[in-house]
């Protein structure tokens, strides 16, 4: 898109980039993030999983049939915010044109036990 540089994300709720949002009784937060641009075939999922593991976030990431990448992050609010911020630029070869962040309700955990997985 013209006028959009790498890392710019239009349509993102800036509050979702911070630590606020629904927090469960156990102190965790969950968000779903969908990114578009040049995000498939550039090690986006693998790098995302490494970043999420380093941040201590649970959840998953997958390629979508429409060419976007979707992820769910759950963990400490600061760690979830860190992952949302990372999704705005992704790995070096990626070009992120847009990021959509949706807060998910405080329900049961997104994954059984700690960890982050790459879905096919």
Structure-derived torsion over alpha carbons of residues 17, 35, 57, 60, reported in degrees to the nearest 10: 150
Q: Is the pLDDT of residue 32 over 90?
A: yes
Q: Is the pLDDT of residue 2 over 60?
A: no
Mean per-residue pLDDT of the chain? 82
Supply the pLDDT for residue 20.
Answer: 56
Q: Which of the residues 24, 63, 76, 95 is marked catalytic?
A: 63
* pLDDT digits 0-9 by tens, 109-119: 666 556 899 99
What is the mean pLDDT of the segment spanning 87-115?
85
Query: Would you call 63 a catalytic residue per the annotation?
Result: yes
Supply the pLDDT for residue 40.
Answer: 97
Which is more confidently placed, 14 or 36? 36
Contact 103, 21 (CB under 8 A): yes
Query: Would you call 29 a catalytic residue per the annotation?
Result: no
Q: Which of the residues 30, 45, 68, 88 is marked catalytic?
A: 45
């Amino acid at each position: 898109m013209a006028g959009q540089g790498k890392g710019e994300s239009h349509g993102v709720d800036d509050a979702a980039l911070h630590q606020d949002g629904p927090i469960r009784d156990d102190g965790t937060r969950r968000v779903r993030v969908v990114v578009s641009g040049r995000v498939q075939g550039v090690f986006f999922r693998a790098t995302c999983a490494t970043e999420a593991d380093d941040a201590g976030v649970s959840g998953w990431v997958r390629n979508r049939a429409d060419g976007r990448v979707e992820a769910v992050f759950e963990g400490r609010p600061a760690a979830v915010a860190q992952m949302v911020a990372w999704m705005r630029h992704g790995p070096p070869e990626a070009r992120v044109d847009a990021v959509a962040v949706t807060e998910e309700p405080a329900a049961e955990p997104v994954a059984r036990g700690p960890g982050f997985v790459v879905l096919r």
